[in-house]
Chain A
Amino acid sequence: SAVISQKPSRDICQRGTSLTIQCQVDSQVTMMFWYRQQPGQSLTLIATANQGSEATYESGFVIDKFPISRPNLTFSTLTVSNMSPEDSSIYLCSVERSSGVGEQYFGPGTRLTVT
Chain B
Amino acid sequence: GENVEQHPSTLSVQEGDSAVIKCTYSDSASNYFPWYKQELGKRPQLIIDIRSNVGEKKDQRIAVTLNKTAKHFSLHITETQPEDSAVYFCAARFTGGGNKLTFGTGTQLKVEL
Contacts and interface: CB of A to CB of B under 8 A. Distances in A.
Contacts of B36: 106
Contacts, number: 48
Contacts of B105: 41-42
Contact of B34 (A41, A100, A104): A104
Interface string A53-67: 000101000000000
Interface residues of A, number: 23
Interface string A16-46: 0000000000000001010000000111110
A82 to B, nearest CB: 26
B54 interface: no
Nearest to B31: A102
Interface of B: 32, 34, 36, 42-46, 49, 51, 89, 93, 98-106
Interface of A: 1, 31, 33, 41-45, 48, 56, 58, 92, 96, 99-100, 102-109
